[in-house]
Each structure stands twice: as C-alpha cells, then as structure tokens.
Structure 1
C-alpha cells in the first residue's frame, strides 16, 4: 500500500477537488460481531508499520458526553499501542475542546498536535474525519489549534470546506488517470498485523457512474487490491452475483452464488463480513441481506435475518 508521500498528498488533493489502542495480550475473540445489546462502543484508529489506518472498536461509558469520549480517544491515539500498531497523533497531543454547532464539530487541539510525522499527514486528516463523524449529529469536522481553524494541514495537504468521511480512508492512487471522471468507493479488506486479522477499509478511485448498486457490488466482488498486504476474501473466493439486487426500505438484498457458502452451508466468515461492511458504506443502506438461491444466509446458516449497519462492531478489543 505504501506510496511515496507526494503521491499521498496528490491523492488527497484530487479527492478534495472532486467534491484503538493496541489489542491487549488476550487474543481478539471475533473480528466482527453483531451488537445485540445496548453496550456503548466507539471507534479509534492506529497506524501499522505500513502507514495503514486500522480501525479499532473499544467500549465506552454510556454516561460520558461526546467531548469526554473524544478526549479519551485522542489520548489513546497519541500513545504507542503495542507491537505492530503505532499512534496516529504526535506524543502529548491533547483535545482541549470539542464544540458541536449546526452539525459541525470543531476539534480544538493543543500545539503538540502539529508534531506528527510528515509522511502521516494524509492519514492524520483521514483519522480525524472518521473519528469525529462516528458520533450522532455530526455531519462534518473542523480542526483548530487554539483559536485558529486550519484551512490546510501543516505540510500542505488541503482541508476540504466540508471534512467528513467522503475524504475516504487509506487512500491510494490507482490506474484511474481521469480523477475528475472517477468516483470514490470504500471497500473492506483483511490484513494481518502481528499474527492478528483486522478488517481494514480502503478508498480507491474507480470509473464513474457506479451509482448503480449492482455495478458497485460487482466492482467489490471483482476487486483485487493493489496492496499485497491487503486481502480481498470475496475476490479470492470468486463470489459472483446471480441476480439484480433489490432495495426495500433501506434493506439491500444481494443475490450471490454458492461460492459464498462453506461446506456446512453457512456463509464464509471473512467473505461475508467484508461484503456486509463494504455495502454498509453505501448511502441509504441500513441493512444487508445475502441470498443464495433465494434463501437468506448468514454466518449461522439459513435464516431470514438481515444485518444492520448500526449493529456491526469489528476489530473489537477490550
């Protein structure tokens, strides 16, 4: 995945023009689960040694307000998390204030924020956008140092007027040369970090006109990562669609062939979960139901249950 710093900044500029602490010593029990309880979870980010942002889900206290949660996340993201996962923010970075006005969240950092590694600038910007917009009522994020709102990052990467998840995450340059005539799509992959498997989102540029859901699904299924350290289980399994998808009341029904199934007729874990996570990145998709021969399948066999984006918890750590 790693490109030269100049390519990273160029990718960020092109995108803008167009538009958790380390796992503890216990093994992670599941890569993704469906949260059937009311437990409070929030997401933070770490960098691996190849400058890939790794999202991590951690528990939080229901009683804590958004500012306190964000301060906790920034503090964790400013420290080395353990072997293989590195801090996103510079040492001693602190979030001094977080103010939400008209769906715009202003994050006010101390001066230590400016001391991050230059080659991490795009990743820092992406992490802030995804960190802030996970909270209800936040449509966009602003970055401030003291009383000054930043218009560009310290090393030249432009900050969009509307900073949100449309900036993407783990951006790459691809073979798509006409960036103004291409769209961004975010797909989930698997990645091994110190013998642990993580689900990792990556935004890439693809040919325009993927507003058609079936074209988007086919692009996901056919996707082969440009990064040898990222694996795409769906492409590895050669899963194909068998019929057009159907959207009913924000539930996306996807028809796939039996390559998505294991021998026991349950869905193959990594292929199924990366598909669900990727499709839940689409606007208006609140739930996904996978069907094989018109029968709904999940990790637990044949049933009618759909998977809700709001319930997905991945890369969970204690």
Structure 2
C-alpha cells in the first residue's frame, strides 16, 4: 500500500557501558561508529525502481522463440505408398541426421505424423550419417533397423533415400548397419549396390514395358486422399528405351495417361486433356504443349492440381529447372485466381504441406 510519508533521517546515537572496566580510558579511546544518515527517498521513486526490476526479470525469464525450418519427410501412407509430408523442424546444422531421426517410429515425429501415415524406421533405431565429398550420404543404423516388416522393405529404402536427397548437396545414399556396409537390404535382400539414388525410383510400376533391359524410367505425380486431406504421390514408371531421347515427353505422356486403377490414386488432368506437340527442353526450360482440355470450363484456367503435378513431374528430370505451359489456341494461361501463369514457372518449394493431426 502506498504510504503518504517520506522516509525519515536516522541518527545513530552512541552509548556508554559502565562497570567492569568497560568505562576505562581504553574503552573510551575506541573508535565510535559513524552517524548513519539515510537520504530522503520518495516512495514513488522506490515503486518505479521496483517495477523496472520486475520488468527486467520477466524479460530475462521469457524463453527465446525457437527458430524452425521446413523439411520434407517421406512417410508410408495407409495404401503402403511413400509420400512426402512437410514439417517445421528446429533449425540445426546436422540436418541429415535430424531428418533420419524424424523417420523413426516413436521418435521426435510421433506427435506430428498425420492421420493415415506412419514413420518408416523401426522403434528404437539409432542413426548416424556423414556426407562425403562426392555427394554420397553414408548412413549408419543400429541393429534395430532390421526390424521392419518384409513387405515394407522397398518403402524403407525409398523413404530414407528420398528424404536425404531433398538436399541439393546429396546425390545418393549408402547404407551401413553398425558400421558394416550393406549391399542389399537386410530382410528381403533388395539390391542397394554401392549406393541408392532417386534414379532407382519410388512407388515403382512396371507399366506397359515388357522388355525391362531396354527401358528407362520417369517419375510422375498423382493425387491421393485421406479423409479431407489431399496430397501428391510420386510414382516411377518404366518407359520404353525408344523414349529415352525425350524423357520429358515420355513423362508428360504418362501424366496424361493417369494413375493405374489398382493404385488408388486420382488423376490430376481433366478428361480429354492431351499433348498436341512433343515436349522439349532448352537451356533448362521445359516447354509443354497441351490441348484446351487442360483448361477448366469455368474461366478457362488451369487448375492448381494440374499445374502443381505438371511442374513437379517435369522438374524431376535433372535438366529441367523451369516449365513453360502452352495451351492450344490460348495466348496466355491463367491460374484459377485469374492471374497469368508466370512464364516460365519454377518447381513448387514444397510437394505437400503436412495436414494437422486429428
């Protein structure tokens, strides 16, 4: 409670003890304590100082906000397919090890995994990783790594590889268990070789190719859905060796064909969409030529789903950095919001945003 008075000056008065020698000259010669004088301090000044101290203390106690960065983690969905989901992870220098640790079931990711997805590494798996100068990420797992289900072996191999190769300085991944190099996966013996890369594919489909020795592969993106959450799934298909010279056109052809019926995936292009000219790449820019079936009937625009899938599919090729979409009979291509599509358009920063759990 605020007091209406000011602190009074205090005068310390010396006193003399008598008897038993304490009154002798020796005692009288002792230094007397100095007078204590307290300055007049206004109560308002005292209260202001206390408030400043309390404010300073509160500021020191408030924890600094943790800096985060968005990373893609490849998980297994309820259909057994490997798909990326994007998470905000604490910013750290050891991004490769951090990414692998977040693939462990029951690990740091356990409270963030969206419904219908699961982490790929067995519970209790400890991980380490180092990056060699040639771009190979050398992973080393504890023995718990062997405890995955046999039917999930390729998904584990692909999820680890695609999670680490999202970083520009990682070209491929080699596998070790307790420091011992693995040429094959430990349960079903899926070949790894010296290393594994995105070139080996993800969610593999043989497609319409019968001669596997004279074939190549492309990766295309289709849609899947769990509840109300839609997300893109990469699918690698074999293509005939004769299409090797124009892999962009082969990839766009597979995108137009759509997903296989047994995959459970959804098409991203409208029925009737087709290519009117061969796709081509010049100086890093892919030019793709669709008929007007690509456009929505509402305002003559390309849907965000079709645009997203086309950009992701084209830029999976090493020589493609940007994409130019052309539509037969249209001077410009519009987005759903009415904006003109950037010419050329770059790959989306993220494949999928992770939906909230629950």
Same structural fold, with TM-score higher than 0.5 when normalized by the shorter chain: yes
Distance in structure 1 (CA, Å) of the matches to 2:145 and 2:89: 24
2:299 to 264, 277, 294: 264
Structure 2 residue 201 is the aligned partner of structure 1 residue 172: no
Structure 2 residue 344 is the aligned partner of structure 1 residue 306: yes
Answer whether contact 1:74 1:93 (CA < 8 A) is retained.
no
Q: Where does 1:1-318 land on structure 2 (aligned, <5 Å)? A: 40-75=69-104, 81-95=113-127, 97-102=128-133, 103-155=135-187, 156-210=189-243, 211-212=245-246, 213-234=248-269, 236-262=270-296, 263-292=298-327, 293-300=330-337, 301-309=339-347, 311-317=348-354
Segments of 5+ residues of structure 1 without an aligned counterpart are: 1-38
Answer whether contact 2:129 2:137 (CA < 8 A) is retained.
yes
> Alignment partner of 2:236: what SS?
strand
> Alignment partner of 1:233: what SS?
coil
Residue by residue over 1:61-115, the C-alpha shift from the partner in whole angstroms, topping out at 9 and shown as x without a partner, is 44433244324433468666353112211112221x2111121111111111110
> Alignment partner of 1:230: what SS?
coil
Distance in structure 1 (CA, Å) of the matches to 2:263 and 2:178: 41
> Alignment partner of 2:152: what SS?
helix
Which stretch of structure 1 is more off in the superposition, 268-277 or 206-215? 206-215
Distance 1:289 1:312, change over 3 A: farther
Residue by residue over 1:218-265, the C-alpha shift from the partner in whole angstroms, topping out at 9 and shown as x without a partner, is 23212442425111222x433122334343321212222222222223
Q: CA deviation at 1:299?
A: 4.4
Distance in structure 2 (CA, Å) of the matches to 1:87 and 1:191: 18
Which stretch of structure 1 is more off in the superposition, 168-177 or 187-196? 168-177
Answer whether contact 1:44 1:77 (CA < 8 A) is retained.
no
Rg bigger for which structure?
2
Answer whether contact 1:189 1:274 (CA < 8 A) is retained.
yes
Answer whether contact 1:74 1:94 (CA < 8 A) is retained.
no
Q: CA deviation at 1:302?
A: 2.4
Which stretch of structure 1 is more off in the superposition, 285-294 or 109-118? 285-294
Q: What TM-score results when the alignment is normalised by the length of structure 2?
A: 0.70
> Alignment partner of 1:200: what SS?
strand
Distance in structure 2 (CA, Å) of the matches to 1:307 and 1:299: 15
Distance 1:110 1:177, change over 3 A: same
Distance in structure 1 (CA, Å) of the matches to 2:130 and 2:283: 34
CA RMSD after TM alignment: 2.4
> Alignment partner of 2:145: what SS?
helix
Partner of 1:28: none
Distance in structure 2 (CA, Å) of the matches to 1:185 and 1:254: 16
Aligned length: 277
Which stretch of structure 1 is more off in the superposition, 107-116 or 288-297? 288-297
> Alignment partner of 2:287: what SS?
strand
Distance in structure 2 (CA, Å) of the matches to 1:77 and 1:298: 41
Answer whether contact 1:237 1:271 (CA < 8 A) is retained.
no
Answer whether contact 2:302 2:333 (CA < 8 A) is retained.
no
Answer whether contact 2:239 2:250 (CA < 8 A) is retained.
no
Which stretch of structure 1 is more off in the superposition, 45-54 or 184-193? 45-54
